Amino acid sequence: MTVKRSDGRKAHDLRPMKAKVGIVPNADGSAMFSFGNTVAIAAVYGPRQLHPQHMQDPTTGILRCTYDLLSFSVSDRKKPGPSRRSQEISKVTEWALLPVVDLKSFPNTVIDVQIYILQADAGTRTAGINAAALALAHAGIPMKDLVCSVALGKLDKDIVVDLNKEEEDFEGGEGPTDFAIAKVANGDEFTLLQLDGKIQPEKVKEVIKIAHEVCKSIYDVQKKALKEAVEEQ
């Protein structure tokens, strides 16, 4: 790999990761996850009775994710409140997590997952998904596995992992490519594949293979955070 990255990383290196669970005392479960300067927190509330009542389903609970960038998380202050972007990311986050959460055990209820980005330097949806998976586990929600998420992209022709904002805005070659991926930690099931930009179809296989590998390191960081929380009790 010859690609030169602005922060000196090799093509397939993630930014330094940090994770901690139990950071929001008033939530039923919570976690922080960061990739370098991108910092996400997630708080889980529930399962609790879903209102309005007509939305309740006696056969299952529902998962409701809300993602938002805090105003001060980006260089140009973000207007508070929901946007098209935040609604889309909330929805894909929900879809990324749904396959691992056992909602059948909680009929008529909702599990709320609130994700806030404290600092944004690209990859916020992926850091948010990693934090949310941890927060759900910390809340004691039955899950078949954790979910790990990362964004890959291209710098000119090289595939690179976990792009920062400068890399995500790279205009050389075929222009910026941002490929957000989430997968079940211990399986081959991908729960998010969201491509912004261009990539040759034959390179998609390579991206999936690299994502599979780097998600192992993300899972290690998530596991360590959960283990530390158990040991602290």
Residues that bind ligand CDP (CB under 6 A): 69, 74, 78, 85, 120-125, 151, 165, 168, 178, 180
Q: Write the CB contacts of 187 (distance below 8 Å, at least 6 apart in sequence).
A: 145
CB of 146 to ligand CDP, least distance (A): 19
Distance separating alpha carbons of residues 86 and 67, to the nearest angstrom? 6
CB of 39 to ligand CDP, least distance (A): 11
Nearer to ligand CDP, 166 or 206 (CB): 166
CA distances to 6, 21, 119 from 90, rounded to whole Å, are: 30, 21, 17
CB of 233 to ligand CDP, least distance (A): 33
Nearer to ligand CDP, 122 or 184 (CB): 122
CA angle in degrees (0–180, nearest 5) for 105-109-113: 100
Distance separating alpha carbons of residues 53 and 109, to the nearest angstrom? 10
Length of the chain: 233
Q: Is 32 helix (H, G, I), strand (E, B) or coil?
A: strand
CB of 178 to ligand CDP, least distance (A): 5
Nearer to ligand CDP, 106 or 116 (CB): 116
User: Closest residue (Cβ) to ligand CDP?
Assistant: 124
**Dihedral pair phi/psi, residue 143, rounded to 5°:** -135, 145
CB of 139 to ligand CDP, least distance (A): 24
Nearer to ligand CDP, 87 or 105 (CB): 87
Nearer to ligand CDP, 10 or 85 (CB): 85
